[in-house]
Structure 1
Amino acid sequence: MYNKFFPSPGSNQKSFNNPQTYIPLFSTKNFFLCVKILLALWILIYIFIVTNYSKDIETKIEEENRIIDKFQDKLMFLMQHGIKIKNSVIDRFKIPDYLANYTFDPNNPMNLDGGISEQAQRFIKELNLTNPGENGVPIKLPNNASDQVKRLIKYGFDTFGYNQFISTLVSLNRALPDVRPDECKQKVYRTDKFSKISIVIPFYNDDWHLLMRTVHSIIRMTPLEYILEILLVDDCSTMQHLKEPLENYTATLPVNTRIIRSHTRLGTNATPTWDPKIAPIGIFAVLAIGNKFYERIEYLDIDMDVWGGEDYELVFRTWLCGGRVEFVPCSNIAHMFRKHKYSINLKGKGGYPWNMARIVETWMDDYKQYFYRVIKNSRVPYGDLTERMQLKKRLNCKPFQWYIDNVYPRLNDIPKRV
């Protein structure tokens, strides 16, 4: 399209005495010029929008952080000054019900119940004890204890496998000494990348005081901002105090505490410097594992019997299938062995030998011959391993020789010694 202002190419027509040659209105040059201008405008508008939106988000985040800081400051103030929180209004946050009646006690900041009954108080007085169990000091009962006390001690041993009578005399909130080496006390840990954790406590027909003392210790000794929940996993307990009374009591705790119950016995398979060190093997009374990794390696072997060997299996699988196991020297866990053994054949399989045979057949390759030499080549049933072998293939696990060479090279000496 041409006009008098933009004549056709080659035309001698002039306009306004302008000797220049006119160019077409819709030329390729004009088109790309317009595109560049529009693109530049779009970029400027985008930058303007993003900048303002980012500032708006930052402003909102800062405001939320100020509110949270204000809430935490007021909450700490109220707890330190003994004011009942239910009578206070803290910004726009609703006060959790579990904090409604709590006041500050310097010896018990969570105001948790010590759990010593009136009957236990009478025994403490009768036995001339003062703060039994405080700071981990052992309790010594007099030789002339009454027949009633002796009967209760016998009942505790027969039922729970330890001196349950003494446990009833110890406060759920008793203080314990810091047994860490000095090097551990000086370590400083980063907390900015900490995530919330779920603490899993399996139990089966446990004494009330032992179980609750564990829960209280966690609550009193762990910063609550790092606890997502406490999960009490009941392995088909039959004792009545672990039924409704446990549910009613845990509902009053200042931490989200849930009870997960099994209707059949599952056993434990239901659940130099001071830096962390490689753990070729371990006994997992207590273990921390990443939830996503635990899910990826598909948890524990549910076809194992009630108790025994699951720690070996999980360690082997973790190392051979892309994970890593470490023990932490600065972490101290107390473990109490019971007087009597667990009932290890309640699932009708083969107990501990069944479990160990499943492990060696699945993971130890040619090294399983040493296991069978030790048990004199006895035939040990281990069930169907099809699913375990498929899992091993799915996870692209390494051969057991890799574990020997890279994790526990001392085991290379096994053939010579055996």
Structure 2
Amino acid sequence: MVSLNKSFLYGICFASLTWVVSLYLFFQLTKSKSTFTKVPTPHSWSVKNNIVDPFLKYTKNNAGPSQTYVNSPELVKKLQPVFGSSKGSDPYEEELANLGLVRDNNDLKIKDEGYKMHAYNVLISNRLSLNRDIPDTRNKLCRKIKYEQKLPNASIIICFYNEHFHTLLRTIHSILNRTPAHLLEEIILVNDQSDIPYLHQDLDEYFKKNSLTKVRLFKPEKREGLIRARLFGARRAQGKVLVFLDSHVEVNVGWIEPLLSRIKEKQSNVVMPIIDIIKADTFAYSSSPLVRGGFNWGLHFKWENLPKGTLKRKEDFVKPIKSPTMAGGLFAIDRGYFIDMGEYDAGMNIWGGENLEISFRIWMCGGSIEIMPCSRVGHVFRSRRPYNSPDGQDTMLFNSLRVAYVWMDDYKEHFLNQRKDAKNVDYGDISSRLQLRKELKCHDFDWYLKNVYPELPLPTDDEEQLKKRWSAIEQDKYQPWHSRRRNYVAQYQIKLAGTDLCIQTAKDVRTKGSGLVLRPCKKSKNQTWYETDKNELVLAQLLCLQAGKTSPILYKCHEMGGDQEWRHKGGQKSPIYNLAAGTCLGVNKKAVNATVVMKLCGDPEPSFLNWDIIV
């Protein structure tokens, strides 16, 4: 009996143990696994100190319920899409990118009207700090150079016509913030009869309210144009050096000392900073390479690479670089030398050609033009000039004819052959300028071409001569746009959140100008996007996604950012935002073949703007 009871007891224990093990295995196999990934969600779009807070930031919130049940981890791994995240980037660029966000129709109106009036993005300029930081783009060796304390002081001369208020103020503040006080005599602002209501009054009140006593604001009695407005300002200057700047620039750290130091060494040195790029669409500041000024026989200024052998050693990257011409917008010159050399040609009208005229005159009459690599000034590069001559005159042609007939001798025929329409165009009285050339005992133009700009091809050159001139300049190796090497940092599909529809091209992946539509997601090249380190979205490694006013298209990659530069926060429910357009990718309906459009990023129906980035 005792033996039977023991057997029964052992049986109960064994059965219990079996159930415990079974239950343990069951719960282990069906243990809750979250199929939801922690994903970023955008901050609310709010304004603080007139600056839009960055919205493409990560949060730690879960996107759904804390847990759900799955059959096995292996199955989940195979079936669960992987949501990519945007690569790490410069916080400065990220914050700047978000400032262009067009949230509503009022923002859109400001942006559109700004482009019409100023040819750049005033929506971003309005939101940028007047005292913003910009990257120090100088060569590292520049920071080791020590300049004398006793340098000549400078009068900064800025002429403007209908310049945007905040952009002009940012120019002024950058000068005040980054120029040693003892070197800055004054900033002379010449308002060339702008017709924007209250602009002059608002500027005057701003300078007085903020006690900007070094800023002197003038307004000529009539519209003078850039050339005569600069003369107007220069004749009122008191500094030993004149520094001419455009009205939409930002000077960089240590910008003025290299210019003043070089002029102190020799009065006839006329010097320029490296002109860095401020993008008109985004106001992003980026460095420019070392290049020099040239021209073609149509008398158009051009940038070109340096002659071979210019940069042999590290030290060469910070030494003065001789330049045959100047762009004209930004340069420094001794005030006495400027006067003795005949200032500007006052017979020129409004704008155009004055930079080549003063370039030829400086070189031919005993001076030199140099680029100072340790001086950097950012300039807003616009795709067009937003104003014309008041009377409709082609001032570029008029002024260029004056240049040709005063300075180019027999070589002017090359210009006249380029401009057949110019031979019967009146160019005014040039007798005083011819007399100036005689008094200054200047070289002829043939001397200039042989001694200053021997690399310039002549229309009369034979093939061998052209090759010789061409080979004297460093040449960039040309690569067709479709075969250029790109640094791809991510590959993914773009799916409309809450659907199984992905963005794909409406036509073949090689078709430039093709629009985009929604189609059921599948692994195919017409749905496979590659993101580059320049924030481009390239379909099938062929064509770039380019923002339009109403719809995006596929187009050849121009590598200039702007309408081909995109931002997203990665993961789920991410807006995809274009920097230049200020708008987001979206749709008007969740359906197969729905067209992908550009929408206001503050659209009342955010589900039409949210995308899942599926790796």
TM-score (norm 2): 0.45
**Structure 1 residues 412 and 170: CA distance shift in structure 2, 3 A:** closer
The Cα shift of 1:345 comes to 2.5
* Counterparts of residues 99-138 of structure 1 (less than 5 Å): 121=48, 124-125=51-52, 128=55, 135=92, 138=96
1:377 and 1:240 mapped to 2: Cα distance?
39
RMSD of aligned C-alpha atoms?
2.7
* Counterparts of residues 54-203 of structure 1 (less than 5 Å): 121=48, 124-125=51-52, 128=55, 135=92, 138-140=96-98, 145-192=103-150, 194-203=151-160
Aligned to 2:437: 392
Aligned to 2:172: 215
**Structure 1 residues 330 and 127: CA distance shift in structure 2, 3 A:** closer
Identify which of 361, 364, 377 aligns with 2:405.
361
1:392 partner letter: R
**Structure 1 residues 389 and 136: CA distance shift in structure 2, 3 A:** farther
| 1:213-244 deviation digits (Å, cap 9, x = unpaired) | 11111111111111111101111112234222
Q: Assess if the C-alpha contact under 8 Å between 1:344 and 1:352 holds in 2.
A: no
**Structure 1 residues 377 and 169: CA distance shift in structure 2, 3 A:** closer
1:228 partner letter: E
Query: Any idea what SS the aligned residue of 1:243 has?
Result: helix
The Cα shift of 1:142 comes to 7.7
Aligned to 2:219: 261
The Cα shift of 1:414 comes to 4.9
Aligned to 2:322: 278
The Cα shift of 1:320 comes to 1.4
Aligned to 2:357: 313
Aligned to 2:454: 409
| 1:353-387 deviation digits (Å, cap 9, x = unpaired) | 11111101110001111111112364232111112
- Aligned-residue identity in percent: 33
The Cα shift of 1:395 comes to 1.7
**2:285 paired with 1:240:** no
Aligned to 1:67: none
Query: Any idea what SS the aligned residue of 2:380 has?
Result: coil
Q: Mind listing any 5+ residue stretches in structure 1 that lack a counterpart?
A: 1-118
After the TM superposition, which of the residue ranges 180-189 and 205-214 deviates more from structure 2?
A: 180-189
**Structure 1 residues 167 and 404: CA distance shift in structure 2, 3 A:** same
Aligned to 2:394: 350
Aligned to 1:381: 426
2:455 and 2:412 mapped to 1: Cα distance?
17
The Cα shift of 1:401 comes to 1.4
**2:281 paired with 1:324:** no
The Cα shift of 1:188 comes to 2.4
Q: Assess if the C-alpha contact under 8 Å between 1:236 and 1:265 holds in 2.
A: yes
Aligned to 2:573: none
Q: Assess if the C-alpha contact under 8 Å between 1:224 and 1:255 holds in 2.
A: no
Paired residues, number: 297
Q: Assess if the C-alpha contact under 8 Å between 2:100 and 2:124 holds in 1.
A: no
More strand by share: 2
The Cα shift of 1:416 comes to 0.5
* Counterparts of residues 44-63 of structure 1 (less than 5 Å): none
Q: Assess if the C-alpha contact under 8 Å between 2:160 and 2:191 holds in 1.
A: yes
Aligned to 1:73: none
Q: Assess if the C-alpha contact under 8 Å between 1:279 and 1:326 holds in 2.
A: yes
Q: Assess if the C-alpha contact under 8 Å between 2:119 and 2:386 holds in 1.
A: no
**Structure 1 residues 393 and 347: CA distance shift in structure 2, 3 A:** farther
The Cα shift of 1:185 comes to 2.3
Q: Assess if the C-alpha contact under 8 Å between 2:226 and 2:350 holds in 1.
A: yes
**Structure 1 residues 177 and 382: CA distance shift in structure 2, 3 A:** same
1:158 and 1:371 mapped to 2: Cα distance?
33
Query: Any idea what SS the aligned residue of 1:148 has?
Result: helix
The answer to which structure, 1 or 2, has the higher relative contact order (CA under 8 A, 6+ apart) is 2
Q: Mind listing any 5+ residue stretches in structure 2 that lack a counterpart?
A: 1-45, 58-89, 231-310, 467-615
Q: Assess if the C-alpha contact under 8 Å between 1:229 and 1:257 holds in 2.
A: yes
**Structure 1 residues 129 and 373: CA distance shift in structure 2, 3 A:** same
Q: Assess if the C-alpha contact under 8 Å between 2:326 and 2:369 holds in 1.
A: no
| 1:114-137 deviation digits (Å, cap 9, x = unpaired) | xxxxx964864587499xx99566
After the TM superposition, which of the residue ranges 406-415 and 359-368 deviates more from structure 2?
A: 406-415
TM-score (norm 1): 0.65
**2:186 paired with 1:229:** yes
2:91 and 2:162 mapped to 1: Cα distance?
25
